Amino acid sequence: MTNFYIFQPKNFKPIKIVRGLLVFIAMVLFFACGIKREPEPGKNIYALPVVEIQAKIQEACIELIWNYSEEEKPKQFLLLRRETKAGEANFPEPKVLVSLDSAERSYLDCSIQSGYDYGYSLISVSKLGLKGEEGKMVWVNFP
């Protein structure tokens, strides 16, 4: 019987082709897949910190004023306050004083006592609920 193959070498072994194909597939999978790890969120999903905050003493209150870019408006601001007795060198951990809407650009703190130093800073919270970095702190000595 006559074979109608155009090309057929004398020692043709299909097992060699299958083995070579498996080695090729294994190499492609090994080198192409890379290392798997948890995805990292992009930097643009975090809200930018408030760069400058100003404080003024008004009667028995401290007025805080800040600016923020309207283009990258956060969901809200967290106003942090540190308080220490005047002249002491300890710096306690900040406490969240109030949560403010993103449209707010000022706050009047009237829950202060004479003879204390107060430190204020803001944290911007993105629309996804992720807290940004704490902004610069401003200290006020309330006599």
Select 49-142's CATH number: 3.40.50.1980, 2.60.40.10, 1.10.260.40, 3.30.2320.20. Answer: 2.60.40.10
Output b/e per residue, 79-117; b: 16+ Cβ within 10 A.
Answer: bbbbbeeeeeeeeeebeebeebebeeeebebeeeeeeeb
Q: What is the pLDDT of residue 81?
A: 95
Domain ranges of the chain: 49-142
Q: What is the pLDDT of residue 43?
A: 61
Structure tokens at 35: 């290392």
Length of the chain: 143
pTM of the model: 0.67
Q: What is the pLDDT of residue 13?
A: 65
Low-confidence ranges of the chain (pLDDT < 70): 1-14, 33-36, 39, 41-44
